[in-house]
Amino acid sequence: MTSEQMQPGDLCLVTGGSGFLASWIEKYLLEGGYKVRGTVRSLQDKKLETLRDLLPGVEFVEADLREERGWTSAVEGCKWVFHVATPQATKYEKNRTSGALSGTKYVMAAALASNTVKKIVVTSSEAAIAYGHPRSKSDFSEDDWSIGVDKFEDYMQSKTVAEKKAWEMANDTSQNPQNIALSTINPALVLGPTLVPWSRFSLITIQDIAQGRMPLLPNMSLHVVDVRDCARMHIAIMHDRSTDGHRHLSFGASGKFVDLAIAIRTDYADRGFKPSTSVAPWWVLWLPSFFSKDVATIYSRIGNVQSYRTKYPEVYKYEFTSFRDMVRASMDSILEHKWINPKV
């Protein structure tokens, strides 16, 4: 395994280049003097003009997670591959698990066959670590894997399945004869400002709470990370060869789900946003847990305190760690883009 590190001028691939998180990674790579290539589903996408204005210098290429074509040329000449793309947890995406799995296979296969790639960082999720466990389990680290994922809703299931596929391919000498390094990052709920003027799952959650679409909130622990920290942590992991072969939890602050609503009420009540802070008792979700995969996914966490402990705290020092500040940055961004409007 090579000990080579990132150097300004190196070409980096960022998959899902139009995304909430990926766009911040691209921005920080450009600021660091790296060459950046980002993938998009289609070069005919109307978003491209906006992306090129926001991220001048990024080369955008076409590659779809559900199609093998395009990935070999996307990887060509790259030294560092950030696989961020995944089907989003929105109503517009179908069969997320199959899309995440096929995309991981295509990206990994292209990168592992490359003569230039030195390392791959795959964006996974806390969903691959801390879900489906017995209610008695309260402490989680990178050693844990979510269990019973076939009972999860599609997005949560996809993160575990895709990350396991990445490790399987990286650890198989027949598929990775050059022993190209892999690291994964497992972010908690990603909040903060968006560079791109289209919404993603994390900010939709904030929108829904602010607009009163969640009158009862789940009684569960919540770990959050600012998108700017998460993006910088991706680059820190890529640069630090001691992270090779490791998973890395990414979270900057912890609290309860209801704290999202409390933060919104505290800072935005004067603009008409007074979301409910009522917490659903566990028994309200007991029966739905048998019929709804959305409820079944989180049910083991209801009423319990889940603590996250990273094995590698030295990898990244968080800059935006205040829970309240992350919610405020999210709301300010949502209001700036006029996804919701003040009520007073």
For position 282, what pLDDT does the model report? 60
In a domain, 91, yes or no: yes
In a domain, 283, yes or no: no
Catalytic amino acids? 159
Per-residue pLDDT at 60 exceeds 90:
yes
What is the C-alpha to C-alpha distance for residues 333 and 344, in angstroms, rounded to an integer? 18
In a domain, 235, yes or no: yes
In a domain, 67, yes or no: yes
Q: How far is CA 198 from CA 18, 21, 316, in A?
A: 9, 12, 28
Q: What is the CATH number of the domain that holds 95?
A: 3.40.50.720
Domain that holds residue 155: 11-260+295-336
What's the structural domain count of the chain?
1
With pLDDT > 70 as the criterion, what percentage of the chain qualifies? Answer: 90
Classify residue 246 by burial, with Cβ atoms within 10 Å: 0-12, 13-18, 19+: middle
In a domain, 1, yes or no: no
For 301-344, give the DSSP string: TTTS--EE--S-TTS---S---HHHHHHHHHHHHHHTTSS----
What is the C-alpha to C-alpha distance for residues 157 and 160, in angstroms, rounded to an integer? 6
In a domain, 214, yes or no: yes
Express each pLDDT in 219-248 by its tens digit: 889 999 999 999 999 999 999 999 999 999
Q: Could you give the 3-state DSSP secondary structure of residue 137?
A: coil
In a domain, 69, yes or no: yes
pTM to 2 decimals?
Answer: 0.93
Out of 93-97, 155-159, 178-182, 303-307, least confident range: 93-97
For position 310, what pLDDT does the model report? 98
Express each pLDDT in 181-202 by its tens digit: 999 999 999 999 999 998 777 8
In a domain, 276, yes or no: no
